[in-house]
Each structure stands twice: as C-alpha cells, then as structure tokens.
Amino acid sequence: MRSLRVIGIGTGNPEHLTLQAVRALAEVDVVFALDKGAETADLLALRRSICAAHIAKPHRFVALEDPARDRRPADYGGTVEAWHQARADRLEEAIRDQLGAGEVGAILVWGDPSLYDSTLRVLERIRAAGRLDLAWTVIPGITSVQALTAAHAILLNRIGADVLVTTGRNLAAQGLTADSTVVMLDGDPSFDQFDPDLTIYWGAYLGSPDEILISGRLGTVAPEIRRRRTEARARHGWIMDTYLLRRP
C-alpha cells in the first residue's frame, strides 16, 4: 500500500498552513508537484520553500511536467477529461517509481483540495485503473474565497441570503442567480453585461506579497480592475484572481 497526503496550502502566504498541515508535512518522504513551466515558476518555488521549512528529515521533491491542454476548446468537457487522464497517467508512473514501500508521499494543493482543483479526481482515476494500491488522506487548506473575504474584511453572505461559487465560464452562460456570487477561474472577465450598481470585491494573488485588492460600485471600478489585471498578468506571466459580486 502506497500512502499519500493531499495537503491544502492556502493561496500564497506560507502562514496559511494549518497546524494539521505542518504535522502532516513532517512525516513526508516524497513530494509530487505538477510543473506548469517557467511562467508559474514562483508557484513551484513556494511549494519547495514550504517543504524546506516543514520537512526536517531527508525528502525528495519530484516535479512533473504538467500535460498541456487547450484553454479555449470547442469541447470543454471532453478536453478537461482528457487532461485529467493525462495527469493521472503521469502521476501514477511517478508514484510507482518514486514512492517506496513504507514511505509517505504528498501533493501540495493551492487553496483547498475540495474547491476547483483536480487532484482528487486524478487520484480517483489512478485508483480505478487498479494498477496501484493507493490510499490518501486530505488535509484542508484556506481557499481563495476565504482569503478574499478576509482581505476585504467582509462577510461572505448576508443574513438569510444565498451564496453561489461558480466559474467565469458559467457566469457568462447563466448570469447572476444569487444574492452574492463568488467567481473563480475567470480568464477574461466581462463585467459590462451586469448591473453597474452591483458591488464588486476583487482580489488577485491573494495572500501573497503581490496581492491586489479593489472594491466598489461595479460600474465605477470595473475599468480599473481590467487595467490592473492586464498590467499584473504582463508583469508576472500569469494571474490568479477571484471576485465577489453582490446585489444592491
């Protein structure tokens, strides 16, 4: 039996690690990480620094090239399924070759493993293939939703009101259906279709030294958000942002 820890590490601040995560890391022999290349090298570097800080015993850091995928596919569902399978194949091979009997492996997940992350789906694919005897435990982490509301010092919900957590793709297709809507994974935000009197709470690189926060009336601050977002993406080569839209 091979054993894995799937550990949520928060959104960029090393102090986001819980005490449970720190204890789990102390027992790890091998850390597996999917490497998206030079543009996101700082995300891989943060994982390495967390390991160096909290794994005192000798350990191995195994970086795997993340399979490429089409970001604007005609068949979104089919493309993501194929991408998950490619990840599963790559990770299964690495676990088989790098994680010995009696050793403990770990995968460090940005945010929390339960929210818009594919790690658990990928591991289920490996288990279903039946070639590896694999078990894992999940250690929760701080999500970008929590980091966003904390940074703006606001409540996620209003009294008795609903909250929807969705993606930019779904928001564009379905519109606003909840009192408060948290939007993640929005590669090309388009605010013009919505009521300009909505309130927006936007944040990028949450929890990190590069954090950017903007809030206010949507019709007033949307141009500034677009400008700051474009500048930040050009400077870093990538952007990870989240925002909350709230009805008047």
Which regions in the chain score pLDDT beneath 50?
Answer: none
SS3 132: coil
Q: Is 37 left (phi over 0), alpha (psi -120 to 50) or beta?
A: left
Nearest by Cα to 32 from 59, 10, 12: 59
H/E stretch holding 95 reads helix 76-98
- Count CB atoms within 10 A of the CB of residue 121: 13
The DSSP code sequence of 14-34 is: GGG--HHHHHHHHT-SEEEEE
Q: What are phi and psi of 27, to 5 degrees?
A: -100, 5
How would you class 188 by CB atoms within 10 Å of its CB: exposed for 0-12, middle for 13-18, buried for 19 or more?
Answer: exposed
Q: Is residue 201 within 8 Å of residue 215, measured between CB atoms?
A: yes
Tokens read off for 173:
């297709």
Please tell me whether residue 135 adopts helix, strand or coil conformation.
strand
Complete domains list, the chain, with CATH: 2-139 (3.40.1010.10), 144-246 (3.30.950.10)
How much is the pLDDT for 30?
98
Length of the chain: 248
Query: What dihedral do alpha carbons 29, 34, 39, 45 form, nearest 10°?
Result: -10
Q: What is the reported pLDDT for 39?
A: 73
Q: What is the pLDDT of residue 40?
A: 77
Query: What is the pLDDT at residue 77?
Result: 80
pTM assigned to the model:
0.92
84-90 long-range contacts, CB within 8 A, separation 24+: 84/118, 84/121, 84/122, 84/125, 85/125, 87/34, 87/118, 87/122, 88/122, 88/123, 88/125, 88/126, 88/129, 90/34, 90/64, 90/65
The predicted structure's pLDDT at residue 211: 97
Q: Which residues contact 221 (CB under 8 A, 6 or more apart)?
A: 200, 202, 214, 215
Give the separation between CA 217 and CA 205, rounded to whole angstroms: 21
